[in-house]
Structure 1
Amino acid sequence: MATRARIAGVGLGEFNTPRKSRSYDVIAEEAIREALADARVDLSAIDQVYAGYVYGDSTSGQNALYRVGMPGVPVVNVNNNCATGSSALWLARQAVESGASECVLAVGFEQMRRGALDAQWADRPTPFDRFDRLAEELHGPAPGVPMAARYFGGAGQEYAQRYGTEPETFARIAVKARRHAARNRHAVFRDPVTVDDVLASPRMFGMLTRLQCCPPTCGAAAAVVCTSDFAARHGLDAPVEIAAQAMTTDQPSSFDPPDFIRLVGYDMSVRAARLVYEAAGVSPEEIPVVELHDCFTSNEILSYEALSLTPEGTAEKFVRDGDNTYGGRVVVNPSGGLLSKGHPLGATGLAQCAELVWQLRGQAGARQVDGATLALQHNLGLGGACVVSLYRRVG
């Protein structure tokens, strides 16, 4: 490895509900322009572009980029389900650290439809055939239940049965998400909710109620990734480096023996986190701020343990002691997370990156975690991919 990649600039396009959002190319343009301005570089400085999105035609990345300019550089379109944004970032980091490029743009965007996620192509095998067969084997048919709610609701139910976790503990995750989001002007859902509100909302599957599920969101995010030499030569203030990063995919343990918790990526998350901690020489106890993949409250509970923020089976105590928020051991999802900031699939990983870069620069305003010099990101896509990234302030 020639050099660790630096994050020179980050930007967000507007996050909004599908009913109110503008088109993907417009919000992606916003994110790209903001990231370039934040980095203080022109588009002409970019050697490569990685564009992430899940729902859209081929070369949508080019269409979004061309609103800013046509630099003629390679543009690679990326789709890794909900881990798409961080997969684009993973590729950008590799390009920089390998010496193939000095300055790379990663952008993610999504123009989502209203309603739950569903398969888009009925005339061919879906990547979720194996998931659906296992889900039916574990819990029987569930007609009318959205597939993601079924998987993650089943995982939450299994966790609760295994450790005796109360429904209120899961509901507290949604309450915290709204409380954090109230400090974030980019977040879509900022109105406070109570535990009673969460538990009284319509039931989806298992322990999940509607307010424990991230809603469909449109949005965009971008990051400019460069070498430290490039930053120095161009006088850029780029004090945040990617200290370590790992991507994992499914192994047989995701499906055998049948288990909803492993089905939704628990083992992928464990392996990716361990690789990152080992590569960086950092222990989870040292990390003060985390953006993790809270697509459902159940997955935030599972991710606490998968990322070794708390020992296996202790997430309920971790939540009830307030160790997942300001004043506790680690601030989890200061942005409001997927539950409240929103989850535009292709943009999520890069929006997490932006939040953590702001935290490490001391630019997070009312959300600021005091003195943060390390930050962890966790982005998960079923089918499957998991990207864990560790950021470090070096200047």
Structure 2
Amino acid sequence: MSQMRRPVHVVGVGMIPFTKPGASEPYTVMGARAAQAALADAGVDYAEVQQAYVGYVYGDSTAGQAAIYGLGLSGIPVFNVNNNCSTGSSALFLARQAVESGMVECAIALGFEQMVPGALKGAYDDRPSPMARFADVMTEHQGFEAGVPRAAQFFGGAGRDYMAQYGIRADTFGRISVKARQHAARNPLAVFRQTLTLDEVMAAPTVFEPMTRFQCCPPTCGAAAAVVCSAEFAKKHELDASVVIAAQAMTTDTPSTFETGDMRKVVGYDMTAAAARQVYEAAGIGPEDLDVVELHDCFTANELITYEALGLTPEGTAERFIVEGDNTYGGRIVTNPSGGLLSKGHPLGATGLAQCAELVWQLRGQAEQRQVEGARLALQHNLGLGGACVVTLYAKA
């Protein structure tokens, strides 16, 4: 966790429209475009950037350099980051840390993914999988269904365990998809902008009970980036320093992931709760102070359990939180105004930085039809199995 020894400002963000696999430009082009957009938004020349942290999951070594070289050949250090679905925010964590420590004054974090259709798969079959331990726990707890995407079984299992404890309706999860589509309809950068009714969500083919196809995020291609710098750098270059990273925490698995026999723990509930707690304590706030949240809704089940892990609603009350509309405009807190991973899309390496871009736009008042009125505190949650969780608090300076 960072106690923010010196302020770090997000002075520029950029994101390209997310697309379905096969419809995107090559990762080198996508990455360069997003980085150029972030630099243009900041008003910073690439020559001023001292380090780059570039995240992707599916790609060869030094793909980060291949993308960032589209900005120029300045000779700066370029670090490649791979942390499953939390890759983008892990890159941001490192860029923020470099600025906060005083090692550099300005850094860029870039994330991209050029995905292929279908469920996620490991790249190698001749060595131990980093997910093997998680899969063993899942199989022992609920079995394994051949032909069903493994990620859906992980997160669907978490939904089942929640249902078993609290007795909620299956269509409660479906309501999250309806909300996601309503939000994405206002986002020109999202993949799925067509709204859906609850009946349409629930009538779609079942992927893994209780989740239907519309409750699972799609494979996506895209890129996003953020430029971070010190207050001194921002002042010197007359940059917009209105958004500051007020606190940030990164957590990994603890024994509870594997020892409790609860799929919610297996998919990162405790990692999320620990990271959120650290951020709230460092910033001196509570979840009730937040105005807007971008959280990791790779599946509807994960959005539901994450409401409680982040403290947005007490344990056991997520169904009421959803049914009463407290998770959207006019409710207690707007969650995933971008449309989230479910509807905006989930290009693994880019997701964390796309969340960052959305929240920076919200705090600047630039989110147009998605704008959360008067937003001053914004929370980001990005999760990767295997595992890593990054929670970031942005504040309007």
Shorter-chain TM-score above 0.5: yes
Q: Which residue of 2 aligns with 1:20?
A: 23
* Superposed counterparts of 1:90-239, under 5 Å: 90-239=93-242
- What's the counterpart of residue 336 of structure 2? 333
Contact 1:377 1:389 (8 Å CA) reproduced: yes
Which letter maps to 1:22? E
How far apart, CA to CA, are the structure 2 residues paired with 1:364 and 1:43?
26
| 1:35-57 deviation digits (Å, cap 9, x = unpaired) | 00000010000000000000000
User: Offset at 1:167?
Assistant: 1.1
Partner of 2:299: 296
Of 101-110 and 17-26, the range deviating more from structure 2: 17-26
Q: Supply the distance in 2 between the matched residues of 1:198 and 1:118 (Cα, whole angstroms).
A: 26
Separation of aligned partners in 1, 2:107 and 2:274 = 27
When the two chains are superposed, the root-mean-square deviation of aligned CA atoms in Å is: 0.7
Q: Secondary structure at the match of 2:17?
A: strand
Q: Identity of aligned pairs, percent?
A: 64
Which has the larger displacement, 19-28 or 174-183?
Answer: 19-28
Q: Which runs of 5+ in 2 are unaligned?
A: none
Query: SS state of the match for residue 355, structure 1?
Result: helix
Q: Which amino acid aligns with 2:330?
A: G
Secondary structure, aligned partner of 1:308: coil
> How far did residue 13 of structure 1 move?
2.1
Determine whether 1:344 maps to 2:371: no
**Separation in 1, partners of 2:247, 2:321:** 26
> Following TM superposition, by how much is the alpha carbon of 1:14 offset from its aligned partner in structure 2, in angstroms?
2.8
Q: Is the 8 A contact 1:14 1:27 kept in 2?
A: no
Distance in 2, matches of 1:9 and 1:388, equals: 19
Task: State how far apart, in whole Å, the 2-side matches of 1:263 and 1:201 are.
Answer: 27
> Contact (CA 8 Å) 2:53, 2:91: kept in 1 or not?
yes
Which residue in the other structure is 2:312 paired with?
309
Match of 2:58 among 55, 58, 61: 55
CA distance in 1, matches of 2:343, 2:241: 29
C-alpha contact (below 8 Å) 1:2/1:99 kept by paired residues: no
Q: What SS does the corresponding residue of 2:37 show, helix, strand or coil?
A: helix
Residue 38 (1) aligns with residue 41 (2): yes
Q: Which amino acid aligns with 2:194?
A: D
Write the distance in 1 (CA, Å) between the matches of 2:126 and 2:241.
47
Per-residue deviation, 1:2: 4.2
Structure 1: distance between partners of 2:304 and 2:38: 32
Contact (CA 8 Å) 2:17, 2:188: kept in 1 or not?
A: no
Cα displacement (A) at 1:29: 1.0
Amino acid at match of 2:266: L
Render the CA deviation track for 1:171-206: whole Å, top value 9, x for unaligned: 000000000000000000010111111111111112
Report the Cα offset of residue 68 of structure 1.
Answer: 1.4
Structure 2 residue matching 1:345: 3-state secondary structure: coil
Q: 2:288–2:312: 8 Å Cα contact kept in structure 1?
A: yes
CA distance in 2, matches of 1:24, 1:188: 17
Separation in structure 1 between the aligned mates of residue 327 and residue 309 of structure 2, nearest angstrom? 14
Structure 2-normalised TM-score? 0.98
| 1:266-302 deviation per Cα after TM superposition (whole angstroms, max 9, x unaligned) | 0000000000000000110010100000000000000
The question of whether the paired residues in 2 share the 8 Å contact of 1:9 and 1:238 is answered with: no
The corresponding residue for 2:282 is 279
Q: Structure 1: which amino acid aligns with 2:141?
A: L
Structure 1 position 343, deviation (Å):
0.2
- Size of the alignment, in residue pairs? 394
Pairwise CA distance, 1:107? 0.1
Instruction: Report the residue type matching 1:348 in the other structure.
Output: T
Tell which deviates more after alignment, 362-371 or 16-25. 16-25
* Structure-1 separation of matches of 2:209 and 2:139: 14
* Distance in 1 (alpha carbons) for counterparts of 2:382 and 2:298: 10
CA contact (8 A) 2:338 2:344 kept: yes
- 1:323 counterpart (312, 321, 326): 326
Q: Residue type matched to 1:179 in 2?
A: Q
**Structure 1 runs of 4+ with >3 Å offset:** none
SS in 2 for 1:66: helix
Q: What does residue range 313-392 of structure 1 map to in structure 2 within 5 Å?
A: 313-392=316-395
Give the corresponding residue for 1:261. Answer: 264
Q: Give the letter aligned to residue 49 of structure 1.
A: A
Q: CA–CA distance in 2 between the matches of 1:242 and 1:370?
A: 20
